[in-house]
Amino acid sequence: MVTYLVLMGAPGAGKGTQAKKLQESLGLPQVATGDLFRENLKNNTPLGQLARTYMDKGELVPDEVTVAMVKDRLLRPDCANGAILDGFPRTIVQADKLNDLLLELGGQINLVPYIYVTQDVLVERLLKRAQLEGRADDNEETIRNRMRVYQEQTAPLLDYYRQKGLLAEINGEKTVEVVYENLLTAVQQATTN
């Protein structure tokens, strides 16, 4: 069975950590658009150069470019059984394009786990990550902008997926292990029905 999961949650909610754990247990690759952009940035590709101007400000890279990159990634052989999408879609336009793309690939979204965490905890986590990883976009000003962009452009997707009956709300303020167990249970329920 082809399985596509879309992990949702604000920056700092723990999507990346959980996606990495899930990819091992489910045998599905994590497709993280932020990581793909950072890889392009590191290799100084034209896509990386374009993405940098947006990432540095905490803005979204244009939909067209992002969707093309995801399409390219989902067509690779390791995604034959599906994927765990992390950080995509982030706009309604991207979500609509994803539906079209999955239709083409003969699949559909099985579940949208939404990891929710309060704003104060998010900012605290992101600032800590800035110290540990030195990510260029983890400074206070950019963090604030990423939160704003999330509220304005990405949060509407929660209702979009809730209305489709796909949203599974997971409390992200528990330990990494407990969040993971709750996620796995939700995914297993959605994929065995």
Catalytic center residues = 15, 90, 129, 135, 146
**What are the φ and ψ backbone dihedral angles of 57, each rounded to 5 degrees?**
-95, -5
| DSSP conformation class of 14 | S
H-state helical runs in the chain: 15-26, 33-42, 46-55, 63-74, 92-105, 119-133, 140-149, 156-163, 176-192
Question: Smallest distance, Å, CB 100 to ligand AMP?
Answer: 16
Rule CB under 6 A: which residues touch ligand AMP? 11, 33-34, 37, 54-55, 58-61, 66, 87-88, 90, 94, 137, 146
**Nearest residue to ligand AMP, using CB?**
34
Q: Where are the beta strands (DSSP E) in 9-64?
A: 30-32
Closer residue to ligand AMP in complex, CB, 34/82: 34
| DSSP conformation class of 60 | P
Question: Smallest distance, Å, CB 64 to ligand AMP?
Answer: 10
Question: Smallest distance, Å, CB 110 to ligand AMP?
Answer: 19
Closer residue to ligand AMP in complex, CB, 29/87: 87
